Amino acid sequence: MSRCPITYKECGSSKYSKEGLKLLSKNLSQNPDLPYSAAEQISLAGKYATKLSIAGVQPKLSVRLNVPKHRFEVVDRGGVYIIKPPHPIYPELPQNEDLTMRLARIAGIDVPFHGLIYGSDASLSYLIKRFDRYGHGKKYAIEDFSQLSYHTRDTKYDSSMEKLISVLEKYCSFPVLEKVKLFRMTLFCFLVGNEDMHLKNFSLIRRPNKVELSPAYDLINSTIVIEGPDEFALPIAGKRSKISRSSLCKYYGSERLELHAKVIEDELQSMYEASQVWDECIQQSFLSEEMQQKYRSLITERCERLFQ
């Protein structure tokens, strides 16, 4: 019995469930084709890199879904989705990112539509829908915190979690609400080992009626892949590792974000309740058993530090 890489639900002998296909397009009646192997996707990502201006650890492609032809097409403009193929060095990144984004949604974090899709060699690539597109060719303005704080790609780690707060206060329509979202994201990233949340992984989106934090993206359990000493890319109270409950809640939540004690307690309770159902999602994921166990072990250790 196969499972759909978009919904994680059983789909018999098919690659995708009917529900998964409808999430891609209500008019999609058969499995979509990604006519490239993992190696071919990586090669194409290099070819299109200068046109797309997409950089980072993972190769990326801009694609759109041609529904009549039931296939994804690589484009240099007008893309609706971003595809990240398997990485030649770091194992199971597509499966890891897709799972982490699902856990984020359970935790009450806004995430775009995403899933896994099969390549021509049966490899799995990560697919995420662009959240800056709407209507017919219209775009929301998106600015990451590196731009907003006058940093560059080379200095995206030269900041702190405290300095993110001033960006919210300066640009957001309702800073208090965005501070709660930032606190929630901080707790989540700690629990799932996302140690690479630098300035370019936080963005503001300018909608017609307000400026707010964008939907989350690039969430991944980097700890089980890289196994480095840091727990945060941007330090809290001058520390990137050995982060405590006090650092997260008393110092960052209460003193720096200026959140009321009841708000902090409610966020902790909600995150605890979410963490209690994550294991089922991990078990359903497309990570290998070994990586699933590493993921569980890390969450268990972090939960003990945060909730006990």
Domains of the chain: 2-129 (no CATH), 134-307 (1.10.1070.20)
Residue 28 has pLDDT above 80, yes or no: yes
Q: What percent of the chain has pLDDT over 70?
A: 97
* Mean pLDDT score, 148-165: 95
Residue 54 has pLDDT above 50, yes or no: no
Q: What is the pLDDT of residue 57?
A: 58
pLDDT 10s digits, 70-113: 999 999 888 999 999 998 889 999 999 999 999 999 999 999 99
Cα 53 to Cα 47, 143, 219, 223, distances in angstroms: 11, 15, 20, 27
* Mean pLDDT score, 252-280: 98
Question: Cα(first)–Cα(last) distance of the chain, in Å?
Answer: 40
Cα 306 to Cα 64, 65, 265, 267, 278, distances in angstroms: 41, 42, 12, 12, 16
pLDDT 10s digits, 232-260: 999 999 999 999 999 999 999 999 999 99
Distance CA 39, CA 26 (A): 30
